[in-house]
Structure 1
Amino acid sequence: MTKRFTEDHEWLDIQGDVATVGITTFAQSQLGDVVFVELPETGAQVAKGKEAAVVESVKAASEVYAPVSGEVVEVNTALPDAPDTVNSDPEGSGWFMKIRFSDEAEVASLMDEAAYKAFVDAL
């Protein structure tokens, strides 16, 4: 398992050529209580940096950007009925989608855990 992070506060758990994607603990703490999640369709093509999902909280609606380009191979079907899972376990069972990525360089350009922690601490 390799975990990577984006400046938009998404995390990826890399296993082979598939990345499980969600929002970070920091992101969910900024959002507050999550009340709605909109996920992409399985089979959808996503592009790095483009909107892939939507998360709404009592405070705001935010886009979840694709951290890597590729095909959505699975979505977390439990989230629409239990969006608060994003608050209770954002970097675990609150994952959004799994993307089969095509470009290793996109993954390599993302932050590791130490770099992400330093990034958040500087905010």
Structure 2
Amino acid sequence: MRTSAVGDSVEGNALKLQCRKLSLQGPIKSKHTKGLVFTFKLNIHGFATITKTLAEAATKISDKSLMNEGDEIHGETINGFSSKAPGKETVDHATSTHKATFVSTRGQSFATVEIGIRDQLQAIQKRIEHKK
């Protein structure tokens, strides 16, 4: 499993999102796109994968973003937004032991890692060592 560092991001015209805990918020005005966007937060092993590349006319949010179809990021917490409301959520088996929530975004979409998986594991290890 590939992990991503804090700040890694993806941008596309459609993203496939997967996580164990999904929070969708209502539309807010974006400073990046100058229009309304629908924000989301993925918690507990989130994945964001580009399913449709960004249109050339679209304004890029970050020069460091991954932009190719199939590019993905992983993290304990991923924040992002899309210019159109996300599709319907589905819950299905992601592994043999856990279910996950799946949803697809439409329109210009951006997702970035807030807490990386490796960062989370290192923080837990530090707490254990501190208690000794």
How high is the TM-score relative to the length of structure 1? 0.33
Q: Which has the higher strand share?
A: 2
Q: Which has the higher helix share?
A: 1
Bigger Rg, which one: 2
